[in-house]
Amino acid sequence: MALYKKALVVGATSGIGEALAVKLAETGTHVVAVGRREERLQALLGKAPHGMISTMVLDITDLPSIASFAAALTAAHPDLDAIVLNSGVQRAFDFGKPETVDLGTLELELKTNYTSYVYLVTALLPHLQSLSKTKETYLILISATLGLVPSLVRTPNYNASKAALHSYITTLRQQQIDAGFAQLHIIEVFPPAVQTELHDTIHQPDLVGGDSLGMPLAAFTNELFTKLGADPKLFVGIGPAEALIAEGGLEYQRQKLFETQQIQVKAALSKFLKKK
């Protein structure tokens, strides 16, 4: 059964995004697939049922282009009811040897994994908010379990970028609730290590066979698809994240704290806010 009518998948040229795009298309969701590598987008067309995927090229780190991308996208696809932000990069840095840290690479990683997501969300929210007045809409963000517990010590900025994304998503979701968009569902996905190009030798040259690290992509994609279909409220966790988001787990408890404390803080702040 189709999960959505039409889904945008950003970062659909390899790995999780490509596999999810194909799975969605095979199950009846039209997909708009986005990435930088045009030849990969063209190849994707042949991996899915005819006519189920259309493509757009975008470098998400080209921040000034995001508003016009969003305008062109929503004009061409006004029925887009799901947006999957998935693109990402992962880089190793050794702050034990600070002279080896390339801050330009670090900045680009942060921009790719965090700032560009905020730009995309800002540009695409008006469409989702408007559509959610008449039907269920979905903003799905592919995060990382390393954003909750930074246990991969070699990738400090990656872990931090995902932690920033997680914090942003938590307040973004609450602001949609506060603004009355009850049918706009914001879902954060916490994958385990998955066998993709993210940690292959091309992207992380100090790893050998890194693309065979973690869960097989097909098994991950099937589980992701099943869990998205089960109407999750906040999170999809696969692998180590499952224990963190389960009742009593670290992230479960943090969300409970957030629920109560954000109300208390809002009340405490109210007398300091200028009347509109």
Ligand X SMILES: NC(=O)c1ccc[n+]([C@@H]2O[C@H](COP(=O)([O-])OP(=O)(O)OC[C@H]3O[C@@H](n4cnc5c(N)ncnc54)[C@H](OP(=O)(O)O)[C@@H]3O)[C@@H](O)[C@H]2O)c1
Q: In the complex, which residues of this chain contact ligand X (CB under 6 A)?
A: 11-17, 35-37, 40, 58-61, 86-89, 112, 142, 144, 191, 193-194, 196-198, 214
The string of DSSP codes covering 185-239 is: EEEEEE---BSSGGGSTTTSTT-SSGGGSSB-HHHHHHHHHHHHHT--SSEEE-T
Rounded CA gap, 211 and 195, in Å?
Answer: 5
Instruction: Decide whether 35 or 237 has the Cβ nearer to ligand X.
Output: 35
Instruction: Decide whether 5 or 36 has the Cβ nearer to ligand X.
Output: 36
**Residue 61: CB minimum distance to ligand X, A:** 4
**Residue 132: CB minimum distance to ligand X, A:** 24
Instruction: Decide whether 87 or 132 has the Cβ nearer to ligand X.
Output: 87
By beta carbon distance, the residue nearest ligand X is 15
Instruction: Decide whether 11 or 132 has the Cβ nearer to ligand X.
Output: 11
**Residue 64: CB minimum distance to ligand X, A:** 14
**Residue 63: CB minimum distance to ligand X, A:** 10
If you compute the radius of gyration of the chain from its CA atoms, what whole number of angstroms results?
19
**Smallest Cα–Cα separation from 124: which of 84, 155, 173?**
84
Rounded CA gap, 260 and 198, in Å?
Answer: 37
Instruction: Decide whether 213 or 250 has the Cβ nearer to ligand X.
Output: 213
The string of DSSP codes covering 240-253 is: THHHHHSTTSHHHH
